[in-house]
Amino acid sequence: MKLSDLKNNGHWPTLLAAFLYFDFSFMVWAVLGPLAPQIGETLKLSPEQKGLMVALPILAGAVLRVLIGLLVDRVGAKNAGMIAQLVVIMGLALAWIFGLPNYPATLLMGLVLGFAGASFAVALPQAGRWYPSNIQGVVMGLAGAGNIGVVLNSLLAPRLAEAFGWKNVFGFALVPAFLVLIFYAAVSKADSGEAKRRKISDYLALLKEPDAHWFCFYYTISFGGFVGLASSYVLYFKGEFGIPPVQGGDFAALCTFVGAFFRPIGGATADHIGGIRSLYRFYLLAGMALIAAL
């Protein structure tokens, strides 16, 4: 693939808008992770409660991704993306104004942030449908590189919480939220070649394909592991090594940056040698790295 292929095909403003939407969504999706030590101390939460508070946005995002995906197929990716962004903005605003006064409030916030985690079902098809199949890997890799938002979140959230209080972090997040929403609404285009509306039975038929289950399994291990670790790094570093939240956020940012950086590279590799071969090679490298870390 050449860079000219991206320039001469598709619609790069939509690709950029999808990247920014994905970037912001990932930033707020995992925001409770870096803030967990401060929130837990304020609310006197147990380790189990803090763990569930951090995990709930991930679980909610996994479920909502299916529902938002159905919405994308019915009203279009752009409309679905704007709806999800408005839900997240409303949740951030309420958390900023009223705070999270108790443990149930943190869980409710986690459910709302799940809408940010559902951005996968919006950004990737919106960007991908504008480009031909021979560069789908790199296009989705570029859009998916928006998970660098987790890196920004790990770097900024603990510092802002230390300087201004963790409640105000939600207020600061509203600034990029509105900027991204305005840019997304103004620049991105409705899907090119929008898929026609499907019946529920069409989706259920997909579950009969063995490959669908295998890819779900691989995705659970790879991306599930990435997000789970990215959300829990600060808590882990503090609990295991006594590292303060700010320094823990720096280490977390370094760890998650690697995953974000290699997304476009992984996509380009899939375009070049095929997705299955790429998957085998990346899993082999990951396995060797895990063995070396023992």
Q: Which has more pLDDT, 251 or 173?
A: 173
Contacts with 248 (C-beta within 8 Å, 6 or more apart), sequence order: 34, 37, 158, 233, 234, 236, 237, 238
The whole-number pLDDT of residue 195 equals: 53
The whole-number pLDDT of residue 4 equals: 56
pLDDT higher than 70, residue 248: yes
Cα torsion 190, 194, 200, 205: sign: negative
* CA separation, residue 5 to residues 10, 18, 23, 129, 132 (Å): 9, 18, 23, 15, 10
**Residue 146 — very low, low, confident or very high, per pLDDT cuts 50/70/90?**
low
Q: Which has more pLDDT, 112 or 124?
A: 112
Q: Which has more pLDDT, 160 or 263?
A: 160
Q: If you average pLDDT over every residue of the chain, what do you get?
A: 82
**Residue 197 — very low, low, confident or very high, per pLDDT cuts 50/70/90?**
low
**Residue 168 — very low, low, confident or very high, per pLDDT cuts 50/70/90?**
very high
Enumerate helices (H) and strands (E) in the chain, giving the number of each: 14, 0
CA 37 to chain centroid, in Å, comes to: 21
CA angle 243, 249, 253 (to 5 degrees): 130
Instruction: Identify the weakest region by mean pLDDT among 171-175, 189-193, 257-261.
Output: 189-193
* CA separation, residue 53 to residues 39, 46, 166 (Å): 10, 11, 15
Gap between the terminal Cα atoms of the chain: 37
- Count of C-beta atoms within a 10 Å radius of residue 251: 16
- Find tokens 């930033």 and name the residue: 27
The whole-number pLDDT of residue 49 equals: 92
Question: Backbone phi, then psi, for 193, in 5-degree steps?
Answer: 65, 45
pTM: 0.77
**Residue 55 — very low, low, confident or very high, per pLDDT cuts 50/70/90?**
confident
The whole-number pLDDT of residue 196 equals: 59
The whole-number pLDDT of residue 215 equals: 81
Q: Which has more pLDDT, 59 or 144?
A: 59
Q: Which has more pLDDT, 88 or 133?
A: 88
Q: How far apart are CA 150 and CA 25, in angstroms?
A: 9
- Count of C-beta atoms within a 10 Å radius of residue 18: 30
Q: What pLDDT digit, counting tens, does each position of 115-125 carry?
A: 998 887 888 88
**Residue 191 — very low, low, confident or very high, per pLDDT cuts 50/70/90?**
low
The whole-number pLDDT of residue 152 equals: 78
pLDDT higher than 60, residue 194: no
Q: How far apart are CA 251 and CA 111, in angstroms?
A: 27
The whole-number pLDDT of residue 207 equals: 77
The whole-number pLDDT of residue 175 equals: 94
Q: What pLDDT digit, counting tens, does each position of 267-282 carry?
A: 778 878 887 888 888 8
Q: Are 31 and 157 in contact (CB under 8 A)?
A: yes
Structure tokens at 236: 């882990």
